[in-house]
Chains A and B, each alone.
Chain A
Amino acid sequence: MRVLGIIIVLLCGLWLPQAQARPLITDISTTDVAITAGFSGASLVLFGMTDQPDGQLVIQVQGPRGTEIIRRKVNTFGLWLNREKMVFSNVPGYYDISSSAPLQDMLDDQALMQNGFGLDQLAFQPEMRKSMTEINRFNEALIQKKQLQGLFALGTHQIKHVGPQLFRSRISIPPNVPIGEYLVTTYLIRDQAVIAQDTQRLFVHQAGLTGMITNFAHHNALLYGLFAVLLAITAGWISNEIFRRD
């Protein structure tokens, strides 16, 4: 229903003069992803409209930024132990990218870098006092790990053009995503340059019993711990009564 509503709004928008003043308008089917006990991922749809039928599009989804520690095992006295590590800050917890054409075809390397398009351009903040080759090695491993977890895109997805001015793209949220604010930014590109962009905010949060438990754990830690212990002892006692055989 919501998707249908968006389509109607967007189609109406085609005929409204003030909408024509903005070269790019987007909306997503939901701005709120609730993680409950049965959460197994979510799928949303981004709809957009542009007044440039021959313009190209790029959509980036970026999760909340955090710090990642990547460790490497080194053979020391015959044992493989975690002996080297690198700390990266400003790493998005989720990254996905889609475009209407291959990135290299619409922008040159410098423009790609300036706009931060693609996994290679994600600006992680490496720890200081490490050599460039070291940083690159750890950076590459970090991206591979995140791709393995399904949190970083493996490649660029295709944006579907519904009509000359209307487009659509699917956003998949895997079940192990970090909670927080996600930014969904759409870029309109023409003649090797970004001429307009529009950002939608998406909130991924825990809800229901899951949310209550997390809240309890964070705001009332001592009580939460005692409750868990009490629950454990009660479970042990109940099972004992049930299985009792005198």
Chain B
Amino acid sequence: MQIYLPIAEMAVQIETILSLGAVVGFFSGLFGIGGGFLTTPFLIFLGIPAAVAVGTQSTQLCATSASGVMAHWRKRNVDIRMAVVMIIGGMIGTILGSVLFLALSRLGYIDVVIAVLYVLFLCGTGGMMMQESIKSFLPRAQNSDDKPPLIQRNKFFFNLPYKMRFEQSKLYISALIPGAIGLMAGLMVSVLGIGAGFLIVPIMIYMIGMPPLMVAGTALLQLLVTSAFAAVMHATTNQTLDLVLALLLIIGGVIGTQFGVRAARIIKGRTARILLAVIILGVGLRLAADLIIVPLDLYSLESMR
């Protein structure tokens, strides 16, 4: 069945958008990521203007992260203190990001920067996670788990000021570390239009040493606030939020998320990680291929009205 999107000014197949929302929602519930890196390229592939795709998918991030936060909340898997510190960093990052976005647009480098950063981030994290997961399947994997996380081993991170006690995560670390992670996430939301969960989650697990279940809940709360902020920003500054498209993505997304959260109990940690690594690496390599292989159509059109 077809439905007309008022802001995108085009008709789409309802089933396609619902399934996209459901698939992304499933991964969101399973891994505690937003999945913007999956939604945005696919919406653009369907012919939806890039600005509308980025502007709209932030509301889907809102819905899936809200649903996920509530599920984790009941199990006390949200470190509010950590989330607040990350959100403060995130707000600063979002504002810095929009300034950077404007500066790069003026210089005419924004397309290049977005294309290259997308590939670098996706292939980089995907590759690292893949390496990590393969190692965990090897017999001598145990001793790598015994190693303390980076911030406890490294003198520089250990000696940073403004130490805070994060009771729920059982950590005593400098507030600058989660603040910087939030800032980086905020930068990526406003420049690349992605929630960057796939980057934040591994950093919090491997570098900070937060309990993985706590990471998912906390990252989702941080994502909820950042994406809500981004959605309102897109609606007011560019008017690129399509409510009909958002609603379809949300309906598919919230259903998918619940199944993802359930699947997270069945799928073991390292299997889930290898699955996520495959997905991230797949999208990254696909986008890399678009950059390297001679395009069938060199031209692209953007209508201004």
A214–B251 Cα distance when bound, in Å, is: 21
Interface residues of A in 222-246 (CB under 8 A from B): 222, 224-229, 231-233, 235-240, 243
Determine whether A104 belongs to the interface, using a CB cutoff of 8 Å to chain B: no
* Least CB distance, B240 to chain A, in whole angstroms: 9
Point out the residue from A178, A224, A235 that lies within 8 Å of B235, measured CB to CB: A224
Q: Contact: A72 with B299, CB < 8 Å?
A: yes
Residues of chain A contacted by B243 (CB below 8 angstroms): 213, 216-217, 224, 227-228, 231
Determine whether B160 belongs to the interface, using a CB cutoff of 8 Å to chain A: no
Residues of chain A contacted by B64 (CB below 8 angstroms): 236
* Least CB distance, A144 to chain B, in whole angstroms: 8
Determine whether B60 belongs to the interface, using a CB cutoff of 8 Å to chain A: yes
Determine whether A4 belongs to the interface, using a CB cutoff of 8 Å to chain B: no
A243–B293 Cα distance when bound, in Å, is: 45
Residues of chain B contacted by A235 (CB below 8 angstroms): 63, 66-67, 250-251, 254
Question: Which single residue of chain A is at the shortest CB-CB distance from B261?
Answer: A243
Q: Contact: B2 with A40, CB < 8 Å?
A: yes
A157–B243 Cα distance when bound, in Å, is: 38
Determine whether B143 belongs to the interface, using a CB cutoff of 8 Å to chain A: no
A72–B298 Cα distance when bound, in Å, is: 5
Q: Contact: A236 with B63, CB < 8 Å?
A: yes
Residues of chain B contacted by A243 (CB below 8 angstroms): 258
A232–B301 Cα distance when bound, in Å, is: 31
Determine whether A9 belongs to the interface, using a CB cutoff of 8 Å to chain B: no
Q: Contact: B11 with A40, CB < 8 Å?
A: yes
A243–B4 Cα distance when bound, in Å, is: 30
Q: Contact: A79 with B244, CB < 8 Å?
A: no
Q: Contact: A67 with B304, CB < 8 Å?
A: yes
Question: Which single residue of chain A is at the shortest CB-CB distance from B69?
Answer: A236
Residues of chain A contacted by B232 (CB below 8 angstroms): 222, 225-226, 229
Q: Contact: A229 with B298, CB < 8 Å?
A: no
Residues of chain B contacted by A211 (CB below 8 angstroms): 6
Q: Contact: A231 with B299, CB < 8 Å?
A: no
Q: Contact: A37 with B4, CB < 8 Å?
A: yes
**A interface footprint on B284-305 (CB within 8 Å = 1, 0 otherwise):** 0000001111110011111111
Q: Contact: B62 with A178, CB < 8 Å?
A: no
Q: Contact: B67 with A236, CB < 8 Å?
A: yes
Assuming A71-B299, A213-B244, A239-B254, is B10 touching A225 (CB within 8 A)? no
A229–B231 Cα distance when bound, in Å, is: 7
Considering only CB atoms and an 8 Å cut-off, how many residues of chain A contact the other chain?
A: 59
Residues of chain B contacted by A238 (CB below 8 angstroms): 254
**B interface footprint on A60-73 (CB within 8 Å = 1, 0 otherwise):** 00001011111111
Q: Contact: A68 with B302, CB < 8 Å?
A: yes
* Least CB distance, A215 to chain B, in whole angstroms: 9
* Least CB distance, B290 to chain A, in whole angstroms: 8
* Least CB distance, B189 to chain A, in whole angstroms: 14
Point out the residue from B9, B10, B62, B71 that lies within 8 Å of A232, measured CB to CB: B62
A210–B62 Cα distance when bound, in Å, is: 23
* Least CB distance, B155 to chain A, in whole angstroms: 38
A5–B116 Cα distance when bound, in Å, is: 61
Point out the residue from A40, A68, A79, A176 that lies within 8 Å of B291, measured CB to CB: A79
Residues of chain A contacted by B62 (CB below 8 angstroms): 229, 232-233, 236
Q: Contact: B63 with A233, CB < 8 Å?
A: yes
Determine whether A38 belongs to the interface, using a CB cutoff of 8 Å to chain B: yes
Determine whether A166 belongs to the interface, using a CB cutoff of 8 Å to chain B: no
A226–B234 Cα distance when bound, in Å, is: 11
* Least CB distance, A145 to chain B, in whole angstroms: 4
Determine whether A45 belongs to the interface, using a CB cutoff of 8 Å to chain B: no
Determine whether B247 belongs to the interface, using a CB cutoff of 8 Å to chain A: yes
Interface residues of A in 202-216 (CB under 8 A from B): 206, 210-211, 213-214, 216
Residues of chain B contacted by A39 (CB below 8 angstroms): 4, 11
Determine whether B239 belongs to the interface, using a CB cutoff of 8 Å to chain A: yes
A176–B301 Cα distance when bound, in Å, is: 15
Q: Contact: B258 with A37, CB < 8 Å?
A: no
Residues in A lying within 8 Å of B, measured CB to CB? 35-40, 64, 66-73, 75, 78-83, 93, 138, 141-142, 144-146, 175-176, 178-179, 206, 210-211, 213-214, 216-218, 221-222, 224-229, 231-233, 235-240, 243
Q: What are 6 A-B residue pairs whose CB atoms fall within 8 Å in the complex?
A: A83-B112, A93-B305, A210-B6, A217-B7, A218-B239, A225-B233
The 6 closest A-B pairs by CB, nearest first: A225-B235, A236-B66, A236-B67, A239-B254, A232-B62, A225-B232
